[in-house]
Amino acid sequence: MADKTIRLEESVPGPWYVDDTCTPCHVCLDEAGPQSGFHLLQYTEDESKVIFVKQPQTDDELLAARNALEICPQNAIGDDGD
Ligand code: SF4
């Protein structure tokens, strides 16, 4: 389970976030990154982490975010942020 106390500050405000345990292995980008057709997740500028750049709002976006959460091997994606 992701830990909102170590949420990456670069992520946009809202319930969905990535925490500092992101490696980044990039598999979540296949679900919710630019090449997936969704633009919810992307690399940070130095590509050391992945962050949310948009909070999911539509049903399709929420499904994509949930898929990213479930596929993350680090459990670094959470939806219980503030
Ligand atoms: S799947 Fe998890 S560990 Fe991999 S890049 Fe995405 S948030 Fe980071």
| Overall average pLDDT of the 50-78 stretch | 98
Other CB atoms within a 10 A radius of the CB of residue 39 amount to 14
Nearest Cα residue to atom 8 of ligand 1: 22
Ligand 1, residue 72: give the atom nearest the CA. Answer: 1
C-alpha to C-alpha distance for 16 and 36, rounded to whole angstroms: 18
Residue 13 Cα, ligand 1 centroid: separation in angstroms?
18
pLDDT digits (tens, 9 = 90+) for 18-45: 999 999 999 999 999 999 999 999 999 9
Domain membership of residue 17 as a residue range: 4-78
Mean pLDDT of the region 49-73: 98
Which CATH number is 25's domain given? 3.30.70.20
Number of domains in the chain: 1
Distance 43 CA to ligand 1 centre (A): 10
Q: Model pTM greater than 0.75?
A: yes
